[in-house]
Chains A and B, each alone.
Chain A
Amino acid sequence: MSSAPGSYYVPNPSAWPIIGSIGLFTLLLGFMLFLNEGAAGTWLMIVGAGIVALMMFGWFGTVISESEGGLYNDHVDMSFRMSMLWFIFSEVMFFAAFFGALFYTRTLAVPWLADTDLLWPNYEGGWPTAGPKGPLPIDADTAVSDPAAQFSTIGPWGIPVLNTFLLLASSVTVTIAHHALKHNARGNLILWLGVTLVLGFVFLYFQAVEYSHAYGELGLTLGTGVYGATFFMLTGFHGLHVTIGAIMLTVVWLRCLRGHFKPENHFAFEASAWYWHFVDTVWVGLFVFVYVF
């Protein structure tokens, strides 16, 4: 298993992939049973998630030790970089589906429904809307008295705009940390990466506050027609991705504490940073199209 210059590292057979498949299968099977009121579902889900986590630890652990062991050369590094970029592209397309749903309903479906007097005689359309049978929208950020009849949306200029600044700032701080790493300024690296993490977690905390506000006072839930559906699916999947990105950065931060990474070789750091920028960009799209307009 040499890594002589110019040769490409081909890893030995590995059991992590099959463990990952078993974990994924168990997780999804459990979820499926859970949705269909099977008792075993919850337990299977936990077991499955555990196996997947184990796989992640094991697999990434192997990769890290191979990397720190100097088995990878620039050529391998390049493969990793390219794959991360293409992976992020696939994530972009995943969000595109939900943004597409938002644009489609707003610009086409809802106006059509509003025009269909034969079936929905009193429906006015407009946005936000929960559809002809759903509760009626009232002004943003006003608490509703009867969630069956009314709902309210989250206006952009409260927490959402604050969250925008948090994420944008975190993109800056992660870049500062990257520069520090390139100049081998370990103290600054750890500091700025730590700040990034804090910003990320504060963002998530605010999102949680928003959600409970929405469910508790505004009568805005997943079930609030297409508005609720697109709102929660978009922000929810975004939040999930922030969480994943934050976990990735946390791992990277811990590795920095241990003295991993070199100024010229730090793929894991860069990959996480790219992912973070991506999550950030999605948020800007969300802010503009979900909250502001």
Chain B
Amino acid sequence: MATAEAAHHDEHHGHPTGILRWITTTNHKDIGTLYLCFSLTMFLVGGLMALVIRAELFQPGLQVVDPHFFNQMTTMHALVMIFGAVMPGFVGFANWMIPMMIGAPDMALPRLNNWSFWILPFAFTMLLASLFTAGGGPASGWTLYAPLSIQGGMSVDMTIFAIHMMGVSSILGAINVIVTIFNMRAPGMALMKLPLFVWTWLITAFLLIAVMPVLAGAVTMLLTDRHFDTAFFNPAGGGDPVMFQHIFWFFGHPEVYILILPAFGIISEIIPTFSRKPLFGYTTMVLATAGIAFLSFIVWAHHMFTVGMPLAGELFFMYSTMLIAVPTGVKVFNWVSTMWRGSLTFETPMLFALAVVFLFTIGGFSGLMLAITPADFQYHDTYFVVAHFHYVLFSGSVMAMMGGAYYWLPKWTGHMYDERLGKIHFWTNTIFFNITFFPQHFLGLAGMPRRIPDYALQFTEFNVISSMGAFGLGLSQLIFVYVVIKCVRGGKKASDKVWDQPRGLEWTVPSPAPHHTFDTPPKIA
């Protein structure tokens, strides 16, 4: 239907080159690349902070940093990882893949797309600069609970404004994703034909638009409590510190699904390819994703079982949280069924996908245990929780992104990555990951609280193991960085299909994909 000269203008006009090209670009692939590079940088920054944490916890006693700085590291590590590494990482994947997967020339709102990205470096400048202010960075944990965060210095204000900026970025990015998916599909690309990655992102984007404004509201109240004399969280004025937690977690819980749903999407692309079989139960996968998203809005107070809620509230949040295991379980079972009687090979992306299914499930099960309210009274604010969320966040979200990167790198760069190094990265990463975080389950059960710079002697052994694992895990990421750079620089030419029998539109175009992939909408079978 289209006359195709539409998007071909790029080559003819004097387009900026060099750094200006990246700053002013409206191309979804350029912007995707920016997001991914940003995410990787932030991952290394956040990881270094984690290493400071692990170095201090290597031995009992205070050796490396003072407790105040330790708290700043904990806070910053989490903010940088969540808002700087994982969320932008997934937006990078969305930018690259969604237009390609649905047969569109670009994102629906290309200029806005540029802005969504370019807010982030400024937001993180603000956030990271707060470490250098008088009194140091924010030290109240990433959850910024009042009234502790009200005590902090100007760094807390910087954090609040950085969060406002990240919020704007996320909301604009999410709007763009939704509109692209609804409005830019090639003719014939019915909703129920969308690749699962697109579906998960559609739902993620909805979650983002629904909860980022709530976070903005929460930190705005914090700001006015700090500077404008309001009493939202001050009991003397009739407020309640716990109200901050309610508002925060109304954002916070859907947020954790924002961090995992696109990962599920990536896994659901990789597994069928290397099983040489269609995804099992496509429709239920979509429904399960929607179900998880719906439930995520009514479970938030499971982070707050110990605040002294009325019994009825505790029961409600326990039951609703437990329910999430059902749709998530459906996903796990469907992935396993996709492999069942397939014809399996184990290239690096597949290895990552398998590890994600396996390790995420461990994290999911510990999540389920946390949902059991009476037991959570023991687990809450211990390393058991820390172990839980690193299993879902690192071996869920981050490793899914790594798998996705290996999977699509050839399409992005036109070169094959180094398979041997990829496998080495996989094994070192996965082994060290488990050495780092598995012992933390035991630490938590034995009673080690989280967010402490020093601990009692009976926790020593597992902490030593965990810290050694963390350094190994850090080093193994250097392999990843090397593989990516090497692949961008050159390597064996990748074919259009790249893999044996991949499904999806992205494999029908050349590698590397042309600047505007689909000037003419493709024919959908």
Contacts and interface: CB of A to CB of B under 8 A. Distances in A.
B183 interface: yes
B243 interface: yes
B114 A32 contact: no
B448 to A, nearest CB: 32
Contact of A14 (B4, B24, B161): B24
Nearest to A79: B108
Interface residues of B, number: 85
A229 B230 contact: yes
B376 interface: no
B216 to A, nearest CB: 6
A4 B115 contact: no
B236 A131 contact: yes
Interface string A88-102: 011101101110110
B203 to A, nearest CB: 14
Given A10-B105, A133-B236, A24 B119 contact: yes
Given A8-B184, A16-B111, A36-B157, A96 B214 contact: yes
Interface stretch (B74-82, B173-181, B316-324, B403-411): B173-181
B285 to A, nearest CB: 24
Contacts of B125: 25
A79 B108 CA distance: 6
A110 interface: yes
A17 interface: yes
Interface stretch (B8-16, B350-358, B502-510): B8-16
Contacts of A3: 6
A11 interface: yes
A13 B221 contact: no
Contact of A100 (B4, B168, B223, B247): B247
A157 to B, nearest CB: 25
B238 A226 contact: yes
A93 B231 contact: no
B217 A97 contact: yes
A222 interface: yes
A130 interface: yes
Contact of A13 (B21, B109, B126, B214): B21
> By CB atoms of chain B within 10 A, which of A12, A59, A98 has the most?
A12
Given A25-B125, A222-B224, A79 B109 contact: yes
Nearest to B230: A229
Interface in B232-285: 232, 234-240, 242-243, 246-247, 250
B118 A229 contact: no
Contacts of B104: 8
Contacts of B112: 17, 83
Contacts of A8: 6-7, 104-106, 184
B477 to A, nearest CB: 29
A22 interface: yes
Contacts of A4: 2-3, 5-6
Contact of A131 (B20, B235, B242): B235
Contacts of A226: 231-232, 237-239
A9 B26 CA distance: 11
Given A7-B7, A18-B118, A91 B213 contact: yes
Given A4-B5, A131-B231, A17 B214 contact: no
Contacts of B109: 79, 83
A82 interface: yes
B26 A12 contact: yes
B216 A129 contact: no
Interface string A208-230: 00000000000001111111111
B238 A105 contact: yes
Interface in B100-124: 104-106, 108-112, 114-115, 118-119, 121-122
Contacts of B500: none
Given A24-B165, A28-B126, A222-B229, A83 B108 contact: yes
A217 to B, nearest CB: 19
A165 B223 CA distance: 33
B230 A36 contact: no
A198 to B, nearest CB: 31
Interface in B1-51: 1-7, 9, 13, 15-16, 20-21, 23-27
Contact of A32 (B115, B154, B168): B154
A35 interface: yes
A127 to B, nearest CB: 9
B213 A94 contact: yes
A54 interface: no
Secondary structure at chain B's binding surface: helix, strand, loop or mixed?
Answer: helix
Contacts, number: 248
Contacts of A9: 6
A230 B240 CA distance: 13
Contacts of A229: 221, 224, 230-232, 237, 239
B114 A14 contact: yes
Nearest to A232: B230
A210 B492 CA distance: 72
Contacts of A94: 213-214, 216-217
A75 interface: yes
Contacts of A176: none
B240 A28 contact: no
A17 B179 contact: no
Interface stretch (B204-212, B336-344, B364-372, B385-393): B204-212
A202 to B, nearest CB: 27
B171 interface: yes
Contacts of A133: 236-237
A98 B214 CA distance: 9
A90 B26 contact: no
A75 B112 CA distance: 17
B523 interface: no
Given A82-B178, A82-B179, A109 B2 contact: no
Contacts of A134: 231, 236-238
Interface in A216-274: 221-230, 232-233
B427 to A, nearest CB: 41
A225 B237 contact: yes
Nearest to B310: A108
Contacts of B132: none
A10 B519 CA distance: 11
A28 B26 contact: no
B336 to A, nearest CB: 36
Contacts of B121: 21
A222 B238 contact: no
Interface of A: 1-18, 20-22, 24-25, 28-29, 31-32, 35-36, 59, 75, 78-79, 82-83, 86-87, 89-91, 93-94, 96-98, 100-101, 104-105, 108-110, 112-113, 129-134, 221-230, 232-233
Given A105-B232, A109-B240, 11 more contacts: A7-B7, A8-B7, A10-B106, A17-B115, A24-B119, A98-B217, A101-B243, A131-B236, A131-B237, A134-B236, A232-B230
The 9 closest A-B pairs by CB, nearest first: A97-B217, A131-B238, A7-B6, A17-B115, A223-B229, A229-B230, A13-B24, A94-B213, A225-B237
Interface of B: 1-7, 9, 13, 15-16, 20-21, 23-27, 104-106, 108-112, 114-115, 118-119, 121-122, 125-126, 153-154, 157-158, 161, 164-165, 168, 171, 174-176, 178-179, 182-184, 209-214, 216-218, 220-221, 223-224, 226-232, 234-240, 242-243, 246-247, 250, 516, 519
